[in-house]
């Protein structure tokens, strides 16, 4: 991406502010002829909104465009939200890049709070004395291109001030990594001590190693494959159909609609389908079987409803569509002579791991990668399915610790 690139602290909430003495409110009774103002409707999206929502721990990098995308689109400029832990050393040799999955964001570790509706998605892995030891490492986690938590995506303003919405161009895993390379440049990081990610984050860690081997000392790739499979594409296609067939989708242009209603029903259905694929059959049977609640609803259906509602409150349907499409087109061998050739020719040391009960990204997909990059396959033992890479913190921490020890 051409032009100078500079990280910035977000002035809305992090910079110095004028000291203003609070003024006690004056309460006036409402005259009988005046009706109370109705409450403001909820936003049509769970996306973070600049200038409205608290900044939290986010920092920002403005990347001037144009960014030429792999599929032919162009973004005139990109803003990336990111969080960091630890301190970058004088030689900038201790930096580790952590990459989130589909519905993650930059808040990899830390409690919920203003601007961060959920706790860190990899709490227990990052911090003093942990596998990613912030007493000696500088850990960076960006929100991905196309995201909805501070990085430019479908819910963000386009140059005309309106949300991108249905005008958002198709992006790929390679495009996301291109943006992350520009973020590294902005932070003064020429080479990462390690790039670590699982699921969609693992796809980007793989792309970093193959596409930018001179900038990665070690790649830690968890719970993903070298390319999307037909089953993964099919499951994703069903989820996308659920969203775009929601009448509130409106061709992707729902963010400013009156009434604040977005395609929550469609995204909720997509999340229900995904949640089943994220867990194992054995775990669902053990937790729920065919039990029902007093109101007659199956317990497993109530569990899926719960996850659908949680996602709608913190995520954007357009981002779900954009990132899912990027995962559907993932192929590390595209333009590189095929997957096997791309992996075998990659000089970066790898740690490759999968979850033994993962039915969405089963172990044979990680075996394929490990065999071709000459790395042993590490196995996370879990009944939690694909989500085991997020939940089995102790096992994942041991894998990451060993990877950094050999980096």
**Binding positions for substrate:** 271, 387
What is the DSSP code (8-state) at residue 208? H
Active-site residue, 386 included: yes
CB atoms within 10 A of CB 293: 10
What are the phi and psi torsion angles at 356 (to 5°)?
-65, -20
303: how many CB neighbours lie within 10 A of its CB?
Answer: 17
Under a CB-based contact definition with an 8 Å cutoff, are residues 346 and 210 in contact? yes
Lookup: tokens for 233? 């594409």
Strand order in the sheet with 138-142: 6-8, 59-68, 74-85, 138-142, 95-99, 194-198, 219-222, 350-355, 377-380
Task: Give dist(CA 146, CA 324) in Å, integer.
Answer: 10
CB-CB neighbours of 307 under 10 Å: 16
| Cβ–Cβ < 8 Å for 317, 267 | yes
Q: Among 185, 170, 9, 172, which Cα is nearest to 97's?
A: 185
Q: Is residue 161 helix, strand or coil?
A: coil
Say which of 100, 107, 116, 386 is annotated catalytic. 386
Return d(Cα 128, Cα 151) in angstroms, integer. Answer: 27
Q: Mark the binding-site residues, compressed into ranges.
A: 271, 387
Indicate if 160 belongs to the active site.
no
Determine whether 356 is an active site residue: no
Q: Looking at 199, 280, 357, 382, which residue is catalytic?
A: 199
48-to-81, 105, 290, 392 alpha-carbon distances in Å: 11, 11, 38, 29
Nearest-CA neighbor of 155 among 286, 46, 7, 278?
Answer: 46
Determine the Cα angle at 322 with ends 318 and 324, to 5°. Answer: 115
Whole-number Å distance between alpha carbons of 142 and 62: 13
Q: Which of 264, 280, 358, 382 is catalytic?
A: 358
Which of the residues are catalytic? 199, 358, 386
């Amino acid at each position: 991406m051409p032009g100078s690139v500079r990280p910035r602290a977000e002035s809305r909430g992090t910079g110095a502010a004028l000291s203003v003495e609070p003024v006690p409110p004056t309460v006036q009774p409402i005259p009988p002829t005046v009706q109370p103002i109705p409450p403001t409707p909820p936003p049509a999206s769970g996306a973070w909104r600049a200038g409205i929502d608290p900044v939290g721990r986010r920092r920002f990098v403005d990347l001037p465009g144009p960014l030429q995308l792999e599929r032919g689109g162009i973004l005139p400029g990109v803003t990336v939200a990111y969080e960091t832990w630890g301190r970058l050393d004088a030689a900038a040799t201790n930096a580790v890049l952590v990459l989130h999955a589909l519905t993650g964001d930059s808040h990899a570790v830390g409690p919920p709070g203003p601007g961060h509706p959920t706790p860190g998605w990899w709490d227990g892995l990052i911090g003093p004395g942990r596998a990613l030891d912030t007493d000696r490492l500088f850990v960076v986690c960006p929100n991905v291109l196309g995201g909805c938590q501070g990085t430019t995506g479908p819910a963000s303003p386009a140059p005309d001030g309106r949300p991108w919405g249905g005008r958002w161009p198709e992006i790929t895993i390679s495009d996301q990594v291109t943006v992350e390379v520009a973020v590294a440049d902005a932070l003064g990081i020429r080479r990462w001590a390690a790039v670590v990610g699982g699921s969609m984050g693992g796809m980007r860690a793989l792309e970093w190693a193959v596409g930018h081997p001179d900038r990665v000392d070690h790649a830690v790739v968890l719970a993903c494959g070298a390319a999307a499979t037909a089953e993964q594409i099919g499951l994703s296609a069903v989820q996308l159909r659920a969203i775009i067939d929601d009448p509130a989708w409106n061709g992707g242009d729902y963010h400013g609609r009156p009434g604040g209603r977005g395609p929550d029903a469609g995204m909720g259905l997509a999340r229900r389908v995904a949640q089943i694929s994220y867990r194992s059959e054995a775990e669902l049977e053990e937790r729920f079987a065919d039990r029902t609640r007093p109101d007659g609803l199956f317990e497993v259906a109530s569990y899926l409803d719960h996850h659908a509602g949680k996602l709608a409150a913190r995520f954007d349907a357009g981002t779900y569509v954009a990132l899912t499409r990027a995962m559907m087109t993932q192929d590390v061998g595209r333009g590189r002579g095929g997957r096997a050739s791309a992996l075998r020719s990659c000089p970066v040391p790898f740690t490759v791991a999968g979850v033994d009960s993962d039915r969405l990204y089963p172990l044979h997909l990680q075996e394929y990668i490990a065999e071709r990059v000459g790395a042993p396959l590490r196995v996370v033992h879990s009944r939690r399915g694909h989500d085991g890479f997020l939940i089995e913190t102790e096992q994942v921490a041991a894998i990451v610790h060993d990877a950094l020890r050999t980096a």
